[in-house]
Amino acid sequence: MTAQNTQISSKTIAVLGASGNVGKLLVEYLVSKGYKIKAFGRHAPKFDLKNVENLEVDYSNQEEMNKAVASSDITYMLVGLEYKSKVWEAEWVPLVKRLIDACESAKSKLVFFDNVYAYGLTPGKMTETSPLKAQTRKGKVRKEIQETLEEVHKSGKIKLVIAKCADFYGPGITTSVLGDRFLDFIVNKNTVELFGNPAKKHNYTYVADIPPALEVLGLSDFEGVIHLPTNTAHTGQEFKEILEKVTGKTLKLTGLRQTTAYFLSLFIPILRELFEMMYQSENDYDFDSNKILKEFPELKVTSYEVGFKETIEWYRKVQS
C-alpha cells in the first residue's frame, strides 16, 4: 500500500446531502478511491457499496447533527433546501450554525458546496475576491451564510473550504437551466432554448468534474473560498454551434426572456423562484476557475463538446 493510499484509507468522511445529484456522485467517487463514507440524508440513502454506511439525520436537530459529524475527518455539506425564498430565509442560517457547532466539536474539516448567488450582479469575471453584493432574497441568504462561515473560520474554530460552483449540467441533472426542458428542446424540437438573453455570455460546470475537485479540497491543506473547475463562458450562438457539431443537426436558437418566463411562472412553480435570479442570464455570467486549476493542476475541465455529448446521450436513453 502506498503512502497516499494509507492516507486515504485512514480518512472517514461524512457526506451530508448524499441523496442529491452531486452527493450521489461524490459518494460513488470517494468510495472508488478507498474512503470510508457515512452517507446522510433526511431519509437514509440506498447505496449498495462497500465502505458506505447509509444513515438518516434530522438537520434541524443539533444533537443529530453532532452525531452525524462525530468521528469524521472531513464533512462535505451538499444539503439542498426547498427552492423557495421564504424557506431559505427561515432555515438556511440556523442550519449552517448547527453545522459549524458539529464540525467544531468533531474537529472535522468542513467543505461547503456553494453557488454564486452571494456575488449578485458582477461586472467582468466572478473570482474568489469578487465583492458580495447580493440584491435578491436568495442571494442575501447565501451572502449571510458565507459571512457566517468566514467569521467562524477566521476565529480558528473550524477548518473550512467554501467550494463555489457555477450552474451545473450533465447526465442525471434534470432541474437545472440545462436540464429537462433544455434537453427536450434540443432532442425533440431542434431548438437551443437558453434562459435569459442568448447574446450574453454564460458558463457551466460539468457535474462529473465536481467530485474530483471536492476530494482534493477536502484532503489537502487548502482552506478558504475557491471556484470549482468550470469551462469558459460562451454566448448562446457559440453554444448553438457546439451543439450542432454534437448532434449533427441544424438548430434554432431562442431565449426564454423575462416576459415569457413571467407568464410561464404562473403555471410552472419553479420558474416563480428562478425569476428573481434572471439577472444572471440577462447579463454576462463569467465564472473564473483559474485559481483551483493553478492550485491543483491535476484537475481537468471537461469540454462542452464532451459534456453535451454525454448529457444528450443519457437523455435519449432515459427517454427511449
Same-domain pairing of 138 and 90: yes
Same-domain pairing of 133 and 193: no
Does pLDDT of 1 surpass 60?
no
pLDDT tens column, 68-121: 999 899 999 999 999 999 999 999 999 999 999 999 999 999 999 999 999 999
Cα 213 from chain centroid (whole Å) = 12
* CATH code: domain of residue 15: 3.40.50.720
Same-domain pairing of 137 and 238: no
What's the burial of 318, exposed, middle or buried (CB within 10 Å: 0-12/13-18/19+)? exposed
**Closest to 26 measured CA to CA, from 43, 40, 9:** 40
Q: What percent of the chain has pLDDT over 90?
A: 86
Same-domain pairing of 143 and 193: no
Cα–Cα distance measured from residue 224 to residue 217, given in angstroms and rounded to the nearest whole number: 10
**Closest to 164 measured CA to CA, from 123, 137, 129:** 129
Residue 175 lies in a domain: no
Same-domain pairing of 13 and 89: yes
Residue 102 lies in a domain: yes
Cα atoms in the 13 Å half-sphere on the side-chain side of 318: 13
pLDDT tens column, 195-243: 899 999 999 999 999 999 999 999 999 999 999 999 999 999 999 999 9
Same-domain pairing of 110 and 191: no
Does pLDDT of 271 surpass 70?
no
pLDDT (0 to 100) of residue 62: 97
Query: What's the total number of domains in the chain?
Result: 2
Would you call 300 helix, strand, or coil by DSSP?
A: coil
Same-domain pairing of 147 and 243: no
Same-domain pairing of 125 and 248: no
| Residue numbers of the domain that contains 184 | 180-201+234-284+314-319
Residue 308 lies in a domain: no
pLDDT tens column, 112-164: 999 999 999 999 999 999 999 999 999 999 999 999 999 999 999 999 999 99
Same-domain pairing of 105 and 244: no
Cα–Cα distance measured from residue 89 to residue 145, given in angstroms and rounded to the nearest whole number: 11
Same-domain pairing of 130 and 264: no
